[in-house]
Amino acid sequence: METWLLDLNISKAEAVAESIKASGGSAYAMQIDVSDADAVQDASQRIQADYGTPSALVTAAGIIESVSTVLDADLEAHDRLWAINYGGTLNACRSFGRLMREAGAGSIVTVGSINSYVALPLPAYCPSKTAILRLVEMLCVELGRFGVRINGVAPTYVLTPALQTRVDAGNRSLDTMLKVNALKTMVKPNDIANVVSFLLSDNARAVTGHMMPVDAGYLPTTTFASFAGGQPWPD
Ligand SMILES: NC(=O)c1ccc[n+]([C@@H]2O[C@H](COP(=O)([O-])OP(=O)(O)OC[C@H]3O[C@@H](n4cnc5c(N)ncnc54)[C@H](O)[C@@H]3O)[C@@H](O)[C@H]2O)c1
């Protein structure tokens, strides 16, 4: 099975491809800006011509923004974020989804966020991730009768190397993040990969149109925190 890594940052995609090859897999990297619908369409055609219709698609490209108010956010940066986070997801789902529809099989997983469900002061990021959830629901109905499933994952703060660096530098607090986390453990990149892998697999053959929080209980814990004292037991 071949894996294609499509990313704007080609050296990052190549490094991941190399690690897949090192563990016995077959992988290729391709540089692409997912906000460019024509480029995504060309890539899908090239991959199909050389290797046939992909059986799985994961749309993970995304950027984050600095905390801001809606009223004062920079509109140009807002539109660029939307073009990548929502537009990139849409472009990939459309181009590869058409191929899967034609083939009568396929599974798609998009990457949303806890911000697909709840708001934080990130005026472009939050609605872009909510829109991805709606897209998953619409495409579930549209593609289901062609044997194509689509789901999403909604991660909370993930302890990526980038976040670890910020924690080490004192710019982010693990205690603060863990306070709103029922399991009192940080979510790691592999936790996300495992759920993506399940959703893509035949074990999830009856699951479509949903976005699964991978949040160690963040969503219910935050609603508890806002209610009279937060929790029915002492700290
Ligand atoms: N890290 C977290 O805590 C967290 C939490 C919730 C959701 N997410 C989501 O997970 C996904 C991956 O995030 P990450 O934390 O691994 O960040 P990351 O920066 O490591 O990965 C994002 C990738 O998207 C690529 N990218 C950016 N713009 C692109 C473009 N225009 N075209 C193609 N590729 C582009 C980047 O080069 C990078 O490889 C994102 O969608 C993000 O919103 C992350």
Rounded distance between C-alpha atoms, residue 221 and residue 230, angstroms: 8
Distance from the alpha carbon of residue 111 to the mean position of ligand 1, in angstroms: 9
Instruction: State the catalytic residue, choosing from 86, 125, 157, 218.
Output: 125
Give the mean pLDDT of 104-132: 98
Average pLDDT of every residue of the chain: 96
- Residue 114 CA, closest ligand 1 atom number: 6
User: Is the per-residue pLDDT at 52 higher than 90?
Assistant: yes
User: Is the per-residue pLDDT at 70 higher than 90?
Assistant: yes
Give residue limits of the domains in the chain: 32-154+187-219
**Looking at residue 125, what is its pLDDT?**
97
Q: How far is CA 79 from the centre of its chain?
A: 19
* C-alpha torsion 179→198→205→209, nearest 10: 40
Q: How confident is the model at residue 16 (pLDDT cuts 50, 70, 90)?
A: very high
Distance from the alpha carbon of residue 62 to the mean position of ligand 1, in angstroms: 4
Q: Tokens 């109905």 map to which residue?
A: 141
Task: Give 145-198 pLDDT, tens digit per residue.
Answer: 999 999 999 999 999 988 999 899 998 899 999 998 999 999 999 999 999 999
Ligand 1 binding pocket, CB closer than 6 Å: 7-9, 12, 32-35, 60-63, 84, 88, 111, 113, 155, 157-158, 160
Q: How far is CA 28 from the centre of its chain?
A: 20
What pTM did the predictor assign? 0.97
Task: Give 121-153 pLDDT, tens digit per residue.
Answer: 999 999 999 999 999 999 999 999 999 999 999
Q: How confident is the model at residue 207 (pLDDT cuts 50, 70, 90)?
A: very high
CATH T-level fold of 32-154+187-219: Rossmann fold (3.40.50)
* C-alpha torsion 212→24→5→65, nearest 10: 50
**Looking at residue 226, what is its pLDDT?**
87
User: Is the per-residue pLDDT at 230 higher than 90?
Assistant: no
**Looking at residue 46, what is its pLDDT?**
97
Ligand 1, atom 41: closest residue by C-alpha: 62
Say whether 125 is catalytic: yes
